[in-house]
Structures are given as structure tokens and as C-alpha cells.
Amino acid sequence: MSQHSSNAAIIAELENTLHTGSNEKRVATLMRVTDLFVNDAGRYSEEQTHLFDDVMGHLVQHVESRALVELSRRLAPVANAPRAVIGQLARNDEIEISGPVLTASERLSDKDLVEIAATKSQAHLAKIAGRARLNEAVTEVLVDRGDDHVANTVASNAGAKFSNSGMAKMVMRADGDDRLAESMLRRADIPARMFRQLTIQATEAVRVKLLASARPDQKEMVKTVMDELAAQAGKKAPIQARNYADAQCAISAISQDTNLLKSKILEFADSNQLPEAIAALSVLSGFSIKEIDAIVANANELGLTVLCKAVTLEMDTAYAVVMAARSEQTVNKQVSDDFCDYYDNLTVASAQRLLRFWQGRQKVVKCIQGNGR
């Protein structure tokens, strides 16, 4: 008898059990088949494992949740577990069933994880966020869809990899969230520029804690940022003191000329005319003056850099805008080199996606604040 015929005979016998046996008998059968597989899993070929996949696949559709919870728990750590069954369990809406395999099963591909993260509950996302290893495609979805708990779980996961875009999104999310900021600041893979931005937007309490535990090079950066913030205190005019009426009037005559607007932004930045530069950026980006002013007031250099890239400003213009927002006119070579490297590697498409993400996050934050959280 061929392997195919043998498999067909086993499935036929199983179908008879499913249609005539009680639920208890089905569960008992599933547990016996599971025992048979788990006890010798390392010895089975892919073809043999596929047979178990067929058998278990039939059974899991006809047993109660209690049995599926046990099945998920037992199959999750098995490296060569039946792939289709793992996929069924991982997509189950009950987190008690899906949780073990989402957290531990090596049989789930990045494609599987991305699909589940894009369609299932926050509880499912949290289980995925705790996996020992996560690739960039998966963390991107977790950052986009995950709630605060999911974001902090993946930020605290040393085995999670982030794309440049994903890392930037996490930094944006951490603004106003001390717990997330602290988790991100403790990551070994955080780029210097992102570390600086996180330190700038963190609270004093987080900075003090960081000084006590950071690596020597990071401690130096934290101290530098704290000194800069102390020195700049009082330099910037408060939002209500900036004369945007005059600024808007100054650029109204050229608001339809994109190229002239971009060249004027460089002039405004170089001459420390920040309100005019912000008003011009508002015209180019479609962001309100209030939104851009908030980015500047909160020392969000990452947000300002992304905004400049999204409207395709030249590198020297973008750098001048960031320095004007810092109230600095002198050129620091290290800061300049770091900025140029980041700006050169940031694509316009990525910058525009980051801006859409930031706008979406602002709406979520406002909604939460409006509900009194």
C-alpha cells in the first residue's frame, strides 16, 4: 500500500470516529495522537509530520476549547509541530488557545505573524510582541496597531528588530509616555540620534534614572542634553508670543510658488525668523501652524526633520530649520554629520508615512485625553 493510500485509510477511519464518537472520545483521540507526535517529534520526517497535520487538523475542528488550549500548550515548543494545525491555533479568537503558539511556536512565519497582527485583537498582538525573536516586518505592524501595552512589550524585547521607520515611530509614540521612553532608552540597538530625541522629550525623572544606569557614552549624551535644555530655557518665545499673523502675511504673496517658498525657508531659518519658517512649512505640508509650533516647542527634532524631508527640502535648508528651532546658529560638526547621515538615508516616502503615523497618533492621544484618561 502506498503512503498516500495509507494516509487516506487513516483519515477515513478518523472521519468515522468523528461522526459516530462522543466529544469525550474525540478529545481522547486527539490527546493520544498528540502524545504519539510529541513523544517522538524529533524522529519524524516532514512527510510523517504532514500526516499528523492531516489527522490533528480534522480533530481540532470537532473538539471543545478546553482540548485546544491543551493542544496549543503542548505543540507550542515543538520545533517541527504540524504547520497547518499551528496556523489554525494561532488564528483562534480565544487567546487561551492562540496565546501559547503565538508566543513560542517556530512554525509561524513572518507572513503568518504579520497577518495575525494586522487582523486580530490586542491580546494577540501582545503575545506576538513577547516572542523571543521578531523581525522588522512584524514589529512594524505591532507599532502601527498595538496599544500602549503592546508597544512597551515590544520595546522591552531585546530580540525584536526595528526598521529605521519602526524605530522612529517608537520614538514618536514615546513622547509623553515615560514607561515607553525608558524601555526604548534601554535598548542596545537605539541609534544615537534616536537616543538623543528620546532624552530630549523624556521627563526629568526619566533622565535622572537613566544617568544612574546608562552606559558611559549614553551618560555623556544625557548630560549634554540636560545642559543644552538648561541653557536654552527661556530662549524660545512662548507659542502665544509668536506673531504668526505677520508671518502669514509675509509669505502670502509667495504661497503659490513652491520653489520660492523652499528657498525663503532657508533665508528665514538663517536669519532666525522662526515664525515665518513655520508658516511656510505649514503651507508646504498642509499641517497647521499650531501643529508645527508644537513640534518646535516640544523640541521634537525628529518630527521636524521628518517634516522637512516630507516636503522635500534640501539638506542644508532642513538643517538650518532644525538649528533655528534649537536657537543655535553655530555649526557643531558632530551634530551636522549625524543630521546629514540621517537625512540622506531617510526617503521622502518614508518621511511621509511617518508623518501620517504621527498625525494618527495625535488623534489617538487627543481621544484618550478627551475621555479623561
Tens of pLDDT, residues 320-357: 999 998 876 666 667 788 888 899 999 999 999 998 88
The reply to whether 123 and 52 lie within a common domain is yes
DSSP-assigned letter for residue 234 = T
Residue with cell 504673496: 253
Threshold 0.85, pTM exceeds: no
Domain range spanning residue 275?
A: 239-370
Same-domain pairing of 28 and 172: yes
Q: Which of 209, 233, 257 is the last residue of a domain?
A: 233
Q: Answer for the pair 82, 53: CB distance below 8 angstroms, yes or no.
A: yes
Same domain, 160 and 228: no
pLDDT at residue 370, as a whole number: 59
User: Is the domain of 28 the same as that of 162?
Assistant: yes
Residues 12 and 89 in one domain: yes
Note whether 100 and 171 are same-domain residues.
Answer: yes
In this prediction, residue 360 carries a pLDDT of 81
Rg of the Cα atoms in the chain: 27
281 and 194 share one domain: no
Do 298 and 217 sit in the same domain of this protein?
no
CB 154 within 8 A of CB 146: yes
Same domain, 258 and 337: yes
Last residue of a domain, one of 233, 249, 270: 233
Give the three-state DSSP class for 160: strand
Q: What's the structural domain count of the chain?
A: 3
Q: Which residues of the chain have pLDDT under 50?
A: 1-4, 6-7, 237-240
CB 76 within 8 A of CB 102: no
Residues 41 and 148 in one domain: yes
pLDDT reported for residue 15: 61
**Domain ends where: 190, 218, 233?**
233
Residues 257 and 337 in one domain: yes
Contact between 302 and 172 under an 8 Å Cβ cutoff? The reply is: yes
